[in-house]
Chains A and B, each alone.
Chain A
């Protein structure tokens, strides 16, 4: 019998990965390409959507040939993507309108403040489950409509389409200008501020509030169902799943039961807790979001704690300070010292996300003395990720009334043993890494495979999950509490640094 595989595309913030998985959920081949990060102005972050599509067009066939697999052996393709990144393109030429505005971009600072002061602003949290913040797509979309002459009219006529990365890729894979399918999924749509979290449809009042023409929006579909068949890159392959990357990781970690949680440690870090089929509203700065929806089954919801800067702090340490040449060397450098030497780094590069949501915060390094070496700074960089996790877990416990018993982790930073031990120490709770660290890709593959019957059900997927590593808490409680107190004092010092509309 010919072996069959599922292909998964992880369209991430810094790169796009294409991975083939076999029936055991095991990785068979991987291809990866980075794309350019563009910072045209302070606070602006852009990607070239065409570059990303071209990368996928090259990589998908390469992933097949590396494994010696023919496209006919691929039963389905699933996509996981960086969420909230906003792409606009011309339906007739297939060309993007300007660059994609990335989730880290804060150009909508003032616009968001304006919206917050308008009547009806309370509708946003009520209907979408999300606070009004620069992080989400709607303000970005509105900003683009405002700043591109003639765009609003073209959008109203349906000549210009809006999508997050999965929409853009599905549209291109299924033919682009020749019959491309314009869809999104419930998880990505739940991050726009435009979808009603209860009905899972575009909300007319929210569209009106933000001034977004409905004609440019994709159709909202479930995470696992047939969207169409590829005519480009991997012709003939069925495209049957799309999920926002964090929801894909939740799915890949098989957090199918209420109360199960995972945290993905990449550029930013995202802790999601499965809350079952009813959306839970947070009173501690967490987001209510769709976890996943399989076909026409009821949607499963999640509480999310988003941390903007974790791996990207390591990148900054590498690229902007030049103290290391590769990200993993941060662990080597951190191990040259015993502790942080009293130094703390709060990476509020573009404000703080969960649980603080302070756009006026900016990053600081505190506790500097002549004793501090680059080794201490490296520790402080890694510890920042640990403490930010702790803050989010505290908020989760408060909102859900449960105590997190274990944290399932994944993402590039889980290769860092020192960091994983520190997280276990500060929570304190066991930290567990599954056998497939690429859970984002795996989740997209699982959803795609489920939709076409390659895997029968969720229980079957659960059996594929195995523990690859586990870190147990070992820090003494007193030290943990005093360090946490120091961290909190450091965080307070970041607040209010940016003064709105302040002219010096």
Chain B
């Protein structure tokens, strides 16, 4: 079969074997069944484990199919479904925080706004559902960068457009910001996209804990970062509470 990659064929064979078997299998059993050298089998298993397609039982050292693989077909969440499921919590977040709320999902290296709730001051505002936002200059985008490897991959090598003098335009600066997001569980941005504006976001997790999107509040930098550029911690808590409530409703479990 010209053009086929041998190691992928072998990986597929291992996955089929694990799927067929009633329980867990050891490296020896797998290599014997497939007629592979033990070292080769071990190498492939190690890679499959890294991507979450197989798991190794700590006690017995045996292998089984991983949760990532099991959810591969079901982790997809329709964006309109996401809006329906999140709408109540997004409303509550807007009324608690007094700011506009957006929910974003990744699309071709950008953030697609799938839901938008007006700032509750009854001023004239326009729905921007369906618009695309830059990943590197928004809190929504930084959350997606931090938790969605696909987004990070799509951004690699792209030039980071400078929107304000605070926009993070070097890969190093962005990497640092993203590492912080992973550590704290939320992302912030003060005047990195538009002068006078700021945003705060947290991840929305779907079934099994996968990040399916992010929820943010956005508004005047004076309100979100009131004292000497320091974030209003109570707003961060509101955003995180909303993201957790939505994640729970989506079946994310312990998040």
A328-B78, A415-B84, A435-B95 known; 14 new pairs, CB 8 Å cut-off, are A25-B95, A27-B91, A414-B87, A416-B80, A417-B80, A417-B130, A435-B94, A435-B117, A436-B95, A437-B88, A438-B88, A468-B91, A468-B120, A469-B117
Please report which residues of chain A, range 427-472, place their CB below 8 angstroms from some CB of chain B when the two chains form the complex: 435-438, 466-471
Let me know if B127 is at the binding interface, CB within 8 A.
yes
B interface residues, Cβ below 8 angstroms from A: 78-81, 83-84, 87-88, 91-92, 94-96, 116-118, 120-122, 125, 127, 129-130
Bound CA span A471–B130, Å: 14
Let me know if A24 is at the binding interface, CB within 8 A.
yes
Let me know if A332 is at the binding interface, CB within 8 A.
yes
Q: Return B93 CB to nearest CB of chain A, in Å.
A: 10
By a CB distance below 8 angstroms, the chain A residues around B122 are: 466-467
Bound CA span A414–B94, Å: 17
Chain B residue nearest in CB terms to A417: B129
Chain A residue nearest in CB terms to B92: A27
By a CB distance below 8 angstroms, the chain A residues around B81 are: 326, 328-329
| Cβ A435 vs Cβ B91 within 8 A | yes
| Cβ B87 vs Cβ A415 within 8 A | yes
Let me know if A331 is at the binding interface, CB within 8 A.
yes
Max chain A Cβ within 10 angstroms of own Cβ: one of B92, B116, B125: B92
The 8 closest A-B pairs by CB, nearest first: A466-B120, A328-B80, A415-B84, A328-B84, A331-B80, A328-B81, A468-B117, A27-B92
By a CB distance below 8 angstroms, the chain A residues around B116 are: 469
A interface residues, Cβ below 8 angstroms from B: 24-27, 30, 326-332, 412, 414-417, 435-438, 466-471
Bound CA span A438–B91, Å: 10
| Cβ A470 vs Cβ B80 within 8 A | no
Chain A residue nearest in CB terms to B100: A468
| Cβ B120 vs Cβ A435 within 8 A | yes
By a CB distance below 8 angstroms, the chain A residues around B125 are: 467, 470
Can you spell out 28 A-B residue pairs with CB atoms less than 8 angstroms apart? A24-B95, A26-B95, A26-B96, A27-B91, A327-B84, A329-B78, A329-B81, A330-B80, A332-B80, A416-B80, A417-B83, A417-B130, A435-B95, A435-B120, A436-B95, A437-B87, A437-B88, A438-B88, A466-B118, A466-B121, A466-B122, A467-B120, A468-B117, A469-B116, A469-B117, A469-B118, A469-B127, A470-B118
| Cβ A415 vs Cβ B80 within 8 A | yes
By a CB distance below 8 angstroms, the chain A residues around B118 are: 466-470
Bound CA span A438–B125, Å: 22
By a CB distance below 8 angstroms, the chain A residues around B94 are: 435, 468
By a CB distance below 8 angstroms, the chain A residues around B80 are: 328-332, 415-417
Bound CA span A182–B147, Å: 55
Bound CA span A354–B94, Å: 36
| Cβ A328 vs Cβ B127 within 8 A | no
Chain A residue nearest in CB terms to B120: A466
By a CB distance below 8 angstroms, the chain A residues around B79 are: 332
By a CB distance below 8 angstroms, the chain B residues around A330 are: 80
Q: Return B78 CB to nearest CB of chain A, in Å.
A: 5
Bound CA span A330–B79, Å: 11
Q: Return A337 CB to nearest CB of chain B, in Å.
A: 15
Chain B residue nearest in CB terms to A421: B127
Bound CA span A470–B128, Å: 11
Chain A residue nearest in CB terms to B129: A417
Q: Return B123 CB to nearest CB of chain A, in Å.
A: 9
